[in-house]
Structure 1
Amino acid sequence: MLTDTTAPVVLDRREGPYGEVVLRRHGELLQIIANGCFLMDTSDGRSERLLVDAARDALDDRPAPSVLIGGLGVGFSLAHAAADPRWGRVTVVEREAAIIDWHREGPLAELSRAALADSRTRILHTDLVTYVSEGAEPGGGPAETYDALCLDIDNGPDWTVTEGNNSLYSPAGLAACKARLTPGGVLAVWSAKPSSTFDDALRNAGFRQVTTQEIPVARGVPDVVHLGVRAA
């Protein structure tokens, strides 16, 4: 009997407070699945790198700007930010302990080992929606602000992984994001498809210079990054 070598192989499966999260290998690719929903894999990473670069390019020439990356995922955004010496603090918020473990000591370590060893990098195990909206840091202390927020926790504002994430893209959620930004800071939101209403939501929340940058994909609609700048 022949073995189907193209079938995905589950490397780890965890049950957490937000449901099931799975790491699997499909050929040479590593894939993350949450509650049966495909999130991302290691096939490309262009749009995740664009998320970081677009935010950096939209900033002024301030020295060593800080960046908050919402969602660790397969590590493309973190690795790209840490490889850029222009960034100062690089903070990643990730709510799934399993994903953090896969990067620290599992199959995803190859992608993020150098970034995690970088003294500028900090990983926070907490929920991004809670972290952005609360006026404090985990463990106490006043809320930190950032020069850029690069958010990639869903398949987009119109396609969230869990229902609670919807609040991040609401007027209250965008106001909380703006409060976490320094004057002139940039909010960048990754999406698997353009959102016809999200640019308007950014403008209504008081963001300026709202734009959408596209990355073509092999099939279907392009990945995009939605950008908005907090008024100085």
Structure 2
Amino acid sequence: MSELPTRDQEAPAVVLDRRDGPYGEVVLRRRGADHEIIANGCFLMDTADGRSERLLIDAALERLTGGRPTGGPLTDERPTGERPTVLIGGLGVGFSLAHAAAEPRWGRIAVVEREGAIIDWHRAGPLGAISAGALADPRVEVLHTDLVGYLATTRDRYDAICLDIDNGPDWTVTEANDALYGPAGLAAARSRLTDRGVLAVWSAQPSPAFERALRTAGFADVRTLEIPVGRGVPDVVHLARRA
């Protein structure tokens, strides 16, 4: 998700597409120069600012490598299969995926998105302006499925799992997503991490209860990074390592 829109707030919202799917209604709107995604009447994210999404990816890589993940042209001469892998939960407006694909130190980059409409808006719609380069990257794979079910059934393991499918553990888009942040969901996420793996979860507000849940689920080195926003409480990224 992203912080609430801060630009072009006075511009009228123009609906570009509206679809009903198995998880409810999803809407793509244009407001001024920006695009917004609305799910079941709840604002999810827009293209006004991608700081939170980029930090989500950077923080996971920094925790994995113990160093600075970005800051200039970088190369990685290792074969793709020897570089750390990342699973991104939620395609959204594409900031997280595009940022991961711009980093050569990532190997396989998988993104799970359950809304077919959002995938369409990237592949053949206006959100392709953000994600087209990433979608053409041979490291990238888009998985059209529900994240909760995927974590519970896949045998794939990742060095990093970066989740940005809700407005946080305490503010989910659908009730079914609540399971992702509870004991069973966190156990599934932990089981899909490699031994050195890192879990990063975006949230619209700090959640001490979620920090406790991470520790109870067996995660170690639990931390919360704050991202200042124009108004209100800061966005955060919850970080934890598989013990």
Normalized against structure 1, the TM-score is what? Answer: 0.93
The corresponding residue for 1:165 is 177
> Is 1:34 the equivalent of 2:39?
yes
Separation in 1 of the partners of 2:161 and 2:37? 22
Q: How does 1:141-220 map to 2 (within 5 A)?
A: 143-220=155-232
- Letter matched to residue 81 of structure 1: A
1:133 to partner: Cα distance: 1.1
Equivalent residue of 1:186, what SS? strand
Q: Deviations over 1:15-40 (max 9, x none)?
A: 00000000000001100000000000
Separation in 2 of the partners of 1:120 and 1:146? 14
Moved >2 Å (runs of 4+): 60-63
Q: Deviations over 1:26-76 (max 9, x none)?
A: 001100000000000001110100000000011147951000000000000
Q: How does 1:1-232 map to 2 (within 5 A)?
A: 6-60=11-65, 63-134=82-153, 136=154, 143-231=155-243
Q: Deviations over 1:71-123 (max 9, x none)?
A: 00000000000000000000000000000000001010000000000000000
Equivalent residue of 2:214, what SS? helix
In structure 2, list runs of 5 or more residues that go unmatched. 1-9, 67-77
Separation in 2 of the partners of 1:75 and 1:226? 20
Separation in 2 of the partners of 1:179 and 1:81? 22
Q: Percent identity?
A: 70
1:165 to partner: Cα distance: 0.2
The corresponding residue for 1:140 is none
- Letter matched to residue 87 of structure 1: W
1:154 to partner: Cα distance: 0.3
1:196 to partner: Cα distance: 1.8
Separation in 2 of the partners of 1:213 and 1:30? 26
- Letter matched to residue 35 of structure 1: N
Equivalent residue of 2:142, what SS? strand
Equivalent residue of 1:69, what SS? strand
Separation in 2 of the partners of 1:195 and 1:28? 32
The count of residues paired between Structure 1 and Structure 2 equals 220
1:178 to partner: Cα distance: 0.3
- Letter matched to residue 65 of structure 1: P
The corresponding residue for 1:139 is none
1:184 to partner: Cα distance: 1.2
- Letter matched to residue 85 of structure 1: P
